[in-house]
Amino acid sequence: MHWVWLRWFQPVVFGFGVGVVAMILHECGHLAAAVALGVRVKRIGVRWKGVFTVREQGTVRQNLLIALAGPSVNLLLIAVGPWFPMFGLANLCCVLVNMLPIQGSDGFRVADCWRRIREGEPAN
């Protein structure tokens, strides 16, 4: 009887693990962009919402590119969907959720940077 429960639980654990990998790769995109743009990363951590990074404040242009880097990695990883559908779906979900303009999300940061650039704030 306990094997039936374990058979149900295994896909849940596997799916959770695939989602965590997608989130880690998403954060690696932010980290790579920050390093490439010369913005110092202070800390990397995990909380109930997922993995996060704390970094120095960059210019508006740097912040825009760093905010777009994580979802861009997930967009690229959706391409593995034909070979590993669950990983492709996890990356699609990561992009969709992160690009919502909700306080603290990449979508909010992108919208804020875009607004600041349109209002005439220097991008550099």
pLDDT band at 4 (very low <50, low <70, confident <90, very high): low
User: pTM surpassing 0.75?
Assistant: yes
* Residue 1 pLDDT exceeds 60: no
Flag whether 86 is in a domain. Answer: yes
Cβ atoms of 110 and 99 closer than 8 Å:
yes
In tens, the pLDDT along 8-65 reads: 777 777 888 899 899 999 999 999 999 999 999 988 888 777 777 888 888 999 999 9
Flag whether 100 is in a domain. Answer: yes
Flag whether 41 is in a domain. Answer: no
Q: What is the DSSP string of 51-94?
A: EEEEE----HHHHHHHHHHHHHHHHHHGGGTTT-HHHHHHHHHH
Flag whether 58 is in a domain. Answer: yes
In tens, the pLDDT along 71-104 reads: 999 999 999 888 999 999 999 999 999 999 999 8
Flag whether 12 is in a domain. Answer: no
Res 31: pLDDT: 94
Domain total in the chain: 1
Query: Which residues constitute the domain of residue 122?
Result: 48-124
Q: Which residues, other chains included, contact 114 with Cβ-Cβ below 8 Å and sequence gap of 6+?
A: 64
Flag whether 27 is in a domain. Answer: no
Res 2: pLDDT: 63
CA-based nearest residue to 62, from 84, 90, 40, 79: 40
* Residue 123 pLDDT exceeds 70: no
Q: Which amino acid appears at position 63 of this protein?
A: N
